[in-house]
């Protein structure tokens, strides 16, 4: 054969491959004439990310990414979560009147929620504001809302079931905070400082004057003749408002952090100061405020509420902190309701969900009642848990630099370490079948560990791979390996001591996970979407469909004729796989955070999300 003929054949073959790939490409949209169903929310657990807080008696209301949680702090050292309410928007600050919560819910506007029974809150009414609702203050029959780029919104709440937007004033900046005193509303307006708005006629609010703050005004509290402004990296500003039409800056204290929230009680201002925790500032002399105490918090202090001798802090990823301020010079954390690191993977067995929590190891959640899942057991692993599989009374955890952790879960309320295999590298995933654990060990390849005796796991086989192994699935005598930039690898493990690579397919993206059902492998291919591969001939796997998802495909699961995809920022996707060569998007759910893992069991979809575990249907 001449060089020319060989060249023509090679070009023709390449063209065929390109055409085949183009022909199998799918969009993430549903076909014309069909609709994509939003999965129903059933329940959730392990919410993370505490932002704003408000106190009412022994109750603390805490705004979190998923919505609102209520804690009982009658015993400050042991706060208890007693209720939660999932919202559609992004929960920020709130006002509490009796047992009714008025919540600034970001893009979803104002929500009015009855918490008279905290375990079963009920929505009373809501109104969608034109901007992004950050804060709300109640005065009489009106709610005054700091509505981001849309300034001040006034809502008539005389009929909570039918609140009505009745007035508006578009401030020049970004309205983050609001406080009301008399006939004036004081707006923390971002880079435009403090705006004073005349609300004597709530239906026609009028701008009065601006008081400059050097920093970005993020919150405001009014007490007596002064407005106290949390001004981001410029700390606390005190504005004299004895004459509201002519306010002026009288005092200033540059806090060490990033002032996000402020509340004043007596002669003390309490500032939620970002990474600098809680700052306590004596404002007895307003033109000379001075720090008298501080309390470092483990997270990022975003919101603060004070009642008596207790201050509560919305501390970001570290949860809610309860701080004793009876001695303001030496405030101390006395209680905390923190949550473990974000959930990266989930496996379901019986009435339990076993979750790999990145910074915290194993968390076990009872899901016999999926509407009210309960955290019942935990085991803190030494590494960074990214994968979990449960089999025969043990949870096998891929624990990053700490290798494979094997945890006895015979009593789910008291999980205990059984054994460890340290690969001396970074273990990212694990699949277990029979007496063997198949360990994805990054760019150190595949490790096969005999776990016949879980107390003494033993390495029996190893296979070097071309890429970095991120995920692994096992079916009978074959392993299917997601190896990053090298795509998918098929390994014969008939003899676990001598694993053999027998087939591969180079996916277009960066493969992160793989699931197998029948003659097809489903590869979560990162930004490359979802790749469906025919594996009927394991030595020659062939692509049959490529779905370009809106996010980054991280995990896949199969069940009930469907394919479930953890698509990072795009949430959970469900594809009808009646015809694997032409999958159809059937349902989805935006998890608000980043969806890292997914599992399906008995009609329910379990989503491992940055902000918690969601149970969907």
- Average the pLDDT over 391-395 and give the result: 97
Distances (CA, A) of 278 to 32, 87, 287, 612: 55, 28, 21, 26
With a cut of 90, say whether residue 161 has pLDDT above it: yes
Q: What is the pLDDT of residue 28?
A: 58
Domain at 388-616, CATH from 2.130.10.10, 1.10.340.70, 2.30.30.240, 1.10.10.10: 2.130.10.10
What does the domain layout of the chain look like in residue ranges? 45-266, 388-616
Q: Considering the entire predicted model, what is its pTM?
A: 0.91
Distance CA 350, CA 347 (A): 10
Using DSSP, state whether 18 is helix, strand or coil. Answer: helix
With a cut of 70, say whether residue 340 has pLDDT above it: no
With a cut of 50, say whether residue 287 has pLDDT above it: yes
Distance CA 237, CA 207 (A): 21
The token duo for 504 is 């591969």
Nearest 10 degrees: CA dihedral of 296, 297, 298, 299?
A: -120
Q: Which of 577, 578, 537 is nearest to 557 (CA)?
A: 577
Which CATH code for domain 45-266?
2.130.10.10
The token duo for 379 is 């085991």
User: In whole numbers, what is the pLDDT of the chain averaged over residues?
Assistant: 94
Distance CA 62, CA 51 (A): 7
Q: What is the pLDDT of residue 7?
A: 37
**pLDDT tens per residue, range 467-484:** 999 999 999 999 999 999
Binning pLDDT at 50, 70 and 90, where does residue 31 land? low
**pLDDT tens per residue, range 65-124:** 999 999 999 999 999 999 999 999 999 999 999 999 999 999 999 999 999 999 999 999
Distance CA 549, CA 601 (A): 23
**pLDDT tens per residue, range 560-569:** 999 999 999 9
């Amino acid at each position: 054969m001449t060089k020319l003929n060989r060249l023509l054949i090679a070009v023709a073959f390449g063209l065929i491959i390109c055409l085949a790939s183009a022909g199998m490409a799918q969009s993430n949209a549903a076909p014309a004439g069909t609709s994509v169903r939003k999965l129903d929310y059933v329940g959730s657990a392990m919410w993370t990310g505490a932002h704003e807080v408000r106190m009412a008696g022994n109750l603390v209301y805490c705004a979190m990414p998923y919505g609102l949680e209520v804690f009982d702090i009658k015993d400050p050292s042991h706060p208890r979560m007693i209720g939660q309410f999932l919202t559609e928007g992004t929960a920020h600050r709130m006002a509490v009147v009796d047992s009714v919560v008025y919540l600034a819910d970001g893009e979803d506007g104002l929500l009015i929620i009855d918490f008279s029974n905290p375990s079963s809150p009920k929505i009373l009414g809501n109104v969608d504001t034109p901007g992004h609702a950050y804060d709300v203050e109640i005065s009489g029959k009106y709610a005054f809302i700091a509505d981001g780029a849309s300034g001040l919104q006034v809502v008539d709440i005389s009929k909570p079931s039918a609140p009505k937007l009745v007035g508006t004033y578009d401030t020049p900046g970004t309205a983050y905070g609001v406080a009301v005193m008399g006939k004036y509303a004081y707006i923390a307006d971002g880079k435009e400082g403090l705006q004073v708005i005349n609300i004597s006629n709530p239906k026609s609010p009028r701008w009065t004057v601006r008081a400059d703050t050097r920093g970005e005004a993020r919150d405001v509290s009014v007490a007596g003749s002064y407005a106290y402004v949390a001004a981001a990296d410029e700390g606390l500003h005190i504005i004299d408002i004895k004459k509201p039409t002519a306010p002026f800056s009288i005092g200033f204290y540059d806090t060490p952090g990033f002032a996000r929230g402020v509340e004043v009680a007596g002669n003390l201002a309490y500032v939620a100061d970002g990474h600098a925790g809680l700052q306590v500032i004596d404002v007895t002399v307003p033109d000379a405020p001075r720090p008298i105490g501080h309390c470092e918090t483990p997270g990022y202090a975003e919101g603060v509420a004070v009642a008596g001798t207790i201050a509560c802090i919305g501390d970001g990823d570290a949860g809610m902190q309860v701080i004793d301020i009876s001695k303001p010079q030496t405030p101390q954390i006395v209680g905390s309701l923190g949550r473990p690191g974000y959930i990266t993977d989930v496996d379901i067995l019986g009435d339990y969900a076993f979750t790999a929590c990145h910074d915290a190891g194993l968390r076990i959640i009872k899901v016999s009642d999926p509407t009210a899942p309960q955290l019942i057991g935990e085991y803190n692993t030494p590494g960074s848990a990214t994968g979990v599989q449960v089999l025969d009374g043990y949870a096998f955890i891929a624990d990053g630099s700490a290798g494979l952790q094997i945890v006895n879960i015979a009593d789910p309320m008291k999980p205990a370490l059984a054994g460890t295999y340290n690969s001396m590298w970074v273990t990212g995933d694990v699949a277990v079948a029979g007496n063997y654990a198949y360990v994805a060990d990054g760019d150190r390849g595949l490790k096969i560990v005999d776990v016949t005796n879980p107390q003494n796991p033993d390495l029996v086989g190893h296979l070097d791979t071309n890429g970095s192994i991120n995920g692994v699935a096992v079916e009978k005598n074959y392993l299917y390996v997601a190896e990053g930039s090298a795509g998918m690898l098929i390994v014969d493990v008939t003899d676990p001591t001598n694993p053999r690579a027998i087939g591969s397919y180079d996916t277009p993206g960066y493969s992160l996970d793989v699931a197998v059902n029948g003659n097809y492998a489903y590869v979560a291919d990162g930004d490359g979407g979802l790749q469906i591969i025919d594996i009927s001939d394991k030595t020659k796997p062939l692509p049959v469909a490529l779905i370009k998802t809106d996010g980054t495909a991280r995990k896949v699961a199969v069940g009930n004729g469907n394919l479930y995809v953890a698509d990072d920022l795009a949430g959970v996707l469900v594809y009808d796989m009646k015809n694997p060569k032409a999958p159809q998007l059937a349902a989805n759910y935006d998890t608000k955070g980043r969806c890292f893992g997914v599992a399906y069991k008995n009609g329910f979809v379990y989503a491992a999300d940055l902000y918690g575990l969601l149970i969907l249907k």
